[in-house]
């Protein structure tokens, strides 16, 4: 017990130092500390249904496999059903594929309708789908694609799946990114209309939005017994990183985490008992600050303004 305060201090130091904390080094060290939470029990998700968006690549594949190994029936929510065939074949347990483009709000509504009509009782919904368009791209509804895919689509899908998520103390996990630490909440320009467009900046801005909406979403979904988390996977090696951030991948590649390490905390949040406290940003099975020294931390009014934009874009009651 006397080692636990020292272990927590070391964990925090790794986090603040960024490079060792976000890399495979931090994950390897933390797993050996006495503060590391226990793994979910074998078969802890037996008989449970869990949906994972973007489940055909990188963290999505790793998450689906880890959940399946714990006994879950995994629902692969994907844009391309053909790509899901190989993923499903490699899962040790049952799976179902649902075609849905999270960046297209009409597709989201159609997918949610089909899932609810099927009578599913979802234990958890993992929002892993992501992309980093190199040029400003709009969704079919005219929204900047990063914000539509990472914020609007996940909020709408969760809202519409609440009837299916309330049976087992539902859990919702938003897979975010450490890049959000470098960005302010884009309340004055959520659609990235002004200035020179950068795909990496747009991605990070949308991830900041995910994290800063946690208080609102926690309140919104709590009445239905649903807890929501943001999960930062650290710096993980995925096809998306290699394709979209080639320089970063080349420089930091030797210390990037593998996809299994990046997906670990998502799986833990979905499977751990009792359910972890919702509403926070998590990495390596511990809740983390959403900003350091107040840098880029928004005001409550800025959060409110962003939420009003989201509610207006989705035509839902704020």
User: What's the DSSP call for residue 178?
Assistant: G
Which of 181, 203, 229, 292 is catalytic? The answer is 203
Tell whether omega for the bond before 200 is within 30 degrees of 0, i.e. cis: no
Burial of 178 (0-12, 13-18, 19+ CB in 10 A): middle
- pLDDT confidence of residue 1: 57
Rounded CA separation 228/210 (Å): 11
* pLDDT, position 168: 66
pLDDT of 266 reads 98
- Which domains does the chain show, CATH number per domain? 1-36 (no CATH), 43-314 (3.40.50.720)
**CA angle at residue 240 from 257 to 127, to 5 degrees?**
85
pLDDT computed for residue 162 by the predictor: 96
Inter-helix orientation angle 153-165/214-222, to 10°: 20
State residue 88's pLDDT score: 98
Q: Round to whole Å and give the CA distance between 179 and 209.
A: 12
Q: What is the pLDDT of residues 93-115, one digit of tens each?
A: 999 999 999 999 999 999 999 99
Q: Is 229 a catalytic residue?
A: no
pLDDT of residue 69: 98
- pLDDT of res. 240: 80
Reading the block at residue 20, the tokens are 């060792």
Quote the pTM value: 0.95
Residues in the chain predicted with pLDDT less than 50, given as ranges, are none
Q: What ranges make up the beta strands (E) of 28-187?
A: 49-53, 73-78, 95-99, 122-127, 171-175
Cα 174–158–206 angle (5° rounding)?
Answer: 40
Residue 281 has phi, psi (to 5 degrees) of -95, 125
Query: What are the pLDDT digits (tens) for 149-170?
Result: 999 999 999 999 999 997 668 9
The sheet carrying 286-288 orders its strands as 95-99, 73-78, 49-53, 122-127, 171-175, 227-231, 281-283, 286-288
């Amino acid at each position: 017990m006397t080692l636990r305060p020292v272990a927590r201090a070391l964990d925090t130091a790794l986090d603040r130092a960024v490079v060792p904390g976000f890399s495979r080094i931090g994950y390897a060290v933390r797993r050996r500390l006495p503060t590391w939470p226990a793994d979910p029990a074998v078969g802890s998700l037996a008989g449970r249904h869990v949906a994972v968006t973007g489940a055909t690549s990188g963290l999505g594949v790793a998450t689906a496999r880890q959940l399946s190994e714990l006994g879950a029936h995994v629902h692969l929510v994907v844009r391309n059903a053909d790509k899901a065939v190989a993923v499903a074949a490699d899962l040790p347990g049952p799976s179902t594929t649902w075609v849905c483009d999270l960046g297209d709000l009409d597709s989201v509504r159609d997918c949610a309708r089909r899932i609810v009509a099927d009578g599913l009782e979802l234990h958890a919904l993992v929002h892993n789908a992501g992309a980093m368009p190199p040029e400003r791209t709009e969704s079919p509804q005219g929204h900047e694609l990063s914000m539509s895919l990472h914020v609007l689509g996940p909020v709408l899908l969760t809202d519409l799946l609440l009837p299916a998520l309330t049976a087992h103390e539902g859990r919702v996990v938003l897979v975010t990114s450490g890049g959000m630490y470098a960005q302010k909440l884009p309340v004055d320009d959520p659609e990235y209309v002004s200035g020179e467009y950068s795909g990496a900046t747009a991605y990070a801005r949308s991830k900041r939005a995910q994290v800063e909406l946690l208080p609102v979403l926690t309140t919104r979904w709590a009445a239905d017994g649903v807890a929501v988390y943001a999960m930062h996977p650290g710096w993980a090696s995925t096809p998306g990183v290699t394709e979209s951030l080639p320089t970063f991948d080349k420089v930091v590649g030797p210390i990037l985490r593998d996809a299994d390490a990046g997906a670990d905390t998502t799986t833990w949040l979905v499977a751990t008992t009792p359910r972890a406290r919702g509403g926070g940003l998590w990495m390596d099975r511990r809740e983390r600050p959403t900003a350091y020294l107040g840098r880029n931390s928004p005001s409550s009014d800025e959060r409110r303004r962003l939420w009003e934009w989201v509610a207006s874009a989705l035509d839902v009651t704020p």
